[in-house]
Amino acid sequence: IGGPSSRRVALFKNNEQAGKAATDGGGRRSQTPLVNFNPFTPDSLLIQSATQQRNNRKRAHWNDSCGEDMEASDCDGEDDIVPPSKRITMMESNMMSRYISEFHELEKIGCGEFGAVFKCVKRIDGCIYAIKRSKKPLAGSVDEQNALREVYAHAVLGQHPHVVRYYSAWAEDDHMLIQNEYCNGGTLSDIISENYRRLCYLTELELKDLLLQVTRGLKYIHSTSLVHMDIKPSNIFISRKSVPSLDECDEDDDNDAMTTSVVYKIGDLGHVTRVNNPQVEEGDSRYLANEILQEDYSNLTKADIFALALTVLSASGAEPLPTNGDKWHEIRQGKLPAIPQVLSPEFLDLLKLMIHPKPARRPSTSDLIKHPVLLTAARMSADQLRVELNAERFKNALLQKELKKAQMAKAAAEEKVLSTDRVLTRSTVQANPRTSRLIGKKMNRSVSLTIY
């Protein structure tokens, strides 16, 4: 961004000065709330924030001339949120354990360099979440910077079907805790390990679907001027959803056929950085593009494309990727590792293009989504959406059927009550004919004839 970094520095300096100069009416220093500054905030919001701060300063200058007997609401502006001159650390934001009070821990589902991930139920809503808890010590360390980077990136990105959803983050007892969406299918790394053990691999159609879904998530991340910088199987999460299949489904059949929809989601944003003015933290060397190792950051989005190609190759059953050595360099020269299954030449050519030694030659996320090789995967995704749509229609049809049954049962019950009332009335009339004179329009009337 041409001048964002300088603009950010100016914002900090102005806010520091404003914070130092802020005093209340009695000359005492006012307490302004401190917040961390999100480096991934879009520039448009930064400009808007700077404009608002200038307006606040103008109001503050005008407030100085207000009389002592003027109402506070007449001269006070909006409360300013001033970024701190020193970033808030983990220790400064300690509180009573929110993790214990708000969540019930079910099991540990993952562990890595950063820390551990736990499957938890939130006590208030009963839903399942994944809580990532960092290792100790964290305050002032590189791990703390990575943890905050992940929180910043999640907060800016918002929601997307192919990015793990973020809910909240907090610090307690020198730990950073991040509440994310729980993905019930584990990670792609788990699937690859299981496939190695069983000697079976994802088919070409499944590999294309994997490539297409993760590309969509990357396209969304890149559209916000951010790059992931650590795409690999352990950072691709899987959400499995079972839905009824309507191909040969009878409404009266209780044992409905089920189909599973697999959704791939990008997670672990601890290495995310901006495309412009990047602060690069190198990821896993097995998936690292050579230009990043050479500190060439001119085409960072293509580094994600390189890592994505190797991720798909790992899922295809390719031999474990090297961390260094001759084979590592061969891959960076555009040579694909050995694959134990037969893939179409067109698909192999696409993967080879994605690891091209020259980053500019690699396709962008937009190019990949439109690539003819992935059209079959796109059609498959459309079919999955159609299955889910049909499943919703099927559920609605069942609800309509149940509603109709309930209405018929209600009508039958009302008819039974009316029928019972008629029987009781008829019985009463037969038992006591005199009462027939008291019954509605069809009552028996006496006729008196006088003959002269």
CATH 3.30.200.20 domain range(s) in the chain? 89-182
What are the two backbone dihedrals, phi and then psi, of residue 204, each rounded to the nearest 5 degrees?
-60, -40
Q: What is the pLDDT of residues 263-297, one digit of tens each?
A: 999 999 989 999 988 888 888 999 999 999 999 99
Q: Which fold has domain 202-430?
A: Transferase(Phosphotransferase); domain 1 (1.10.510)
State the binding site. 109-117, 132, 235, 268
The percentage of the chain sitting over the pLDDT mark of 90, rounded to a whole number, equals 45
Tell me the two tokens of residue 399: 């609800």
Active site (catalytic) residues: 230
What are the two backbone dihedrals, phi and then psi, of residue 231, each rounded to the nearest 5 degrees?
-70, 125
User: Where is pLDDT greater, at 421 or 20?
Assistant: 421
> How far apart, in whole angstroms, are the C-alpha atoms of residue 285 and residue 293?
9
State the binding site for Mg(2+). 235, 268
Q: What is the pLDDT of residue 397?
A: 79
Residue 265, SS3 per DSSP: strand
User: Where is pLDDT greater, at 399 or 426?
Assistant: 399
> Angle 211-213-216 (CA atoms, 0-180°, nearest 5)?
105
User: Where is pLDDT greater, at 293 or 35?
Assistant: 293
> How far apart, in whole angstroms, are the C-alpha atoms of residue 322 and residue 332?
11
CATH number of the 89-182 domain? 3.30.200.20
What are the two backbone dihedrals, phi and then psi, of residue 95, each rounded to the nearest 5 degrees?
-155, 175
Nearest to 107 by CA among 127, 136, 131: 131
State the binding site for ATP. 109-117, 132
> How far apart, in whole angstroms, are the C-alpha atoms of residue 15 and residue 5?
15
Q: What is the pLDDT of residue 406?
A: 86
> How far apart, in whole angstroms, are the C-alpha atoms of residue 431 and residue 155?
82
DSSP for residue 163: B
Nearest to 116 by CA among 171, 178, 192: 178
Q: What is the pLDDT averaged over residues 152-164?
A: 92
Q: What is the pLDDT averaged over residues 134-139?
A: 71
CATH 1.10.510.10 domain range(s) in the chain? 202-430
What are the two backbone dihedrals, phi and then psi, of residue 229, each rounded to the nearest 5 degrees?
70, 10
